């Protein structure tokens, strides 16, 4: 892995919208993409789409007019391309998204699994396409969820307008390049990186036949309202949003197993998963032992550059995320509710793993 990653350790990627309707205007300004763990590392530059460009892409998008078996064959070729380019994708996941090696391997495996799964579903079901789908994916699984949304829509024969999270557009750009090289037509799949204005343009158009969204609950509610005003009645919205996940440890649990699972769920991916452990309930008569073991296990965690195999916890995605979490920790520290905390590195958008005493879910921000 090291031998294959090293050539792209300092590589700078360039990304633009990938759409048959895109024309690279002379005034289109590229934005720098910076490594959240190593601020001195410029990962690449990206040109965002414009709302007008998004409208042109909607007009240019067409369903994928191939038999289901042929679409499935192309999706399997994409899966092979992901695996053949795994080390480059690892590098992008480390440097743009702050993913550790453990997370990066899991990310590519999940993306490949999605491609094979939806290829098989297309062959078995031979679905009727709805038309044109908007797919809006998050930064916490910038390859896996992006690929899952897009491959599901493509497998069913739909055209796709894909808007990745603005923090992780380079990964999405490389994924779409591999999809097009594998045989997905350029007029079927359109990559439109950008911010909320692009998402709004892609969910407020009557020509959209469905939306798949993963992100925050408030944004999902805005999309629902926008679609209700502009799209045909019955246009589907598939929304996967956040949650407050709990674990209950009672006196029958093996503390070693409980602590192992607590660490994995709460601190892997720097806690940036909708499935991450947010609230731990421990039976009083075993709490002292479990908390003592948890502190010791936390002390073994290593924060740092996700490129290094020794790193257990990488950065959070950007400074906005870091500041929001840190404000929550600082308020708890002022109240005397911090049970245990590590020390974060001085540079990068790191947040130290922290255990806070709470009276209930109402004290945990969504």
Q: Is the pTM of this model over 0.85?
A: yes
Of 238, 185, 186, which Cα lies nearest the Cα of 208? 238
pLDDT of residue 23: 78
pLDDT of residue 366: 74
Question: Distance between CA 280 and CA 357 in Å, rounded?
Answer: 9
Residue in 274, 279, 284, 319 annotated catalytic: 274
Express each pLDDT in 259-304 by its tens digit: 999 999 999 999 999 899 999 999 999 999 999 999 999 999 999 9
Question: Distance between CA 272 and CA 95 in Å, rounded?
Answer: 16
pLDDT of residue 362: 84
Q: Mark the ranges of the chain whose per-residue pLDDT is less than 70.
A: 25-27
135 tagged catalytic: no
Express each pLDDT in 157-203 by its tens digit: 999 999 999 999 999 999 999 999 999 999 999 999 999 999 999 99
Tokens of 157: 């024969």
Residue in 88, 110, 121, 240 annotated catalytic: 240
pLDDT of residue 25: 59
pLDDT of residue 364: 86
Of 43, 22, 24, which Cα lies nearest the Cα of 34? 43
pLDDT of residue 365: 81
181 tagged catalytic: no
């Amino acid at each position: 892995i090291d031998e294959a990653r090293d050539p792209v350790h300092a590589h700078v990627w360039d990304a633009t919208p990938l759409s048959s309707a895109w024309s690279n205007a002379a005034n289109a300004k590229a934005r720098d993409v910076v490594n959240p763990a190593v601020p001195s590392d410029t990962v690449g530059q990206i040109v965002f789409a414009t709302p007008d460009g998004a409208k042109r892409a909607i007009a240019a998008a067409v369903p994928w007019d191939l038999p289901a078996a042929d679409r499935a064959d192309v999706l399997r070729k994409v899966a092979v391309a992901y695996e053949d380019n795994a080390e480059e994708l690892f590098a992008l996941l480390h440097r743009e998204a702050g993913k550790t090696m453990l997370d990066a391997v899991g990310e590519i495996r999940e993306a490949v699994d999605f491609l094979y799964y939806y290829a098989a579903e297309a062959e078995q079901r031979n679905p009727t396409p709805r038309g044109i789908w908007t797919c809006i994916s998050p930064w916490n699984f910038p390859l896996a969820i992006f690929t899952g949304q897009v491959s599901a829509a493509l497998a069913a024969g739909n055209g796709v307008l894909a808007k990745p999270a603005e923090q992780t557009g380079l990964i999405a750009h490389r994924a779409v390049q591999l999809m097009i090289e594998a045989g997905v037509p350029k007029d079927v799949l359109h990559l439109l990186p950008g911010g909320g204005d692009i998402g709004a343009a892609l969910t407020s158009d009557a020509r959209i036949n469905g939306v798949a969204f993963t992100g925050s609950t408030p944004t999902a509610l805005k999309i629902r309202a926008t679609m209700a005003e502009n799209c045909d009645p019955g246009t589907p919205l598939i929304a996967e949003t956040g949650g407050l996940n709990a674990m209950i440890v009672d006196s029958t649990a093996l503390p070693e197993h409980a602590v192992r699972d607590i660490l994995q769920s709460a601190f892997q991916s720097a806690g940036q998963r909708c499935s991450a452990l947010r609230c731990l309930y421990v039976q009083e008569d075993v709490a002292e032992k479990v908390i003592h073991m948890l502190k010791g296990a936390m002390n073994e965690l290593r924060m740092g550059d996700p490129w290094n195999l020794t790193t257990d916890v990488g950065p959070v995605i950007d400074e906005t995320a870091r500041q929001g979490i840190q404000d929550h920790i600082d308020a708890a520290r002022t109240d005397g509710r911090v049970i245990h905390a590590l020390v974060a590195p001085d540079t990068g958008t790191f947040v130290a793993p922290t255990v806070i005493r709470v009276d209930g879910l109402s004290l945990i921000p969504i």
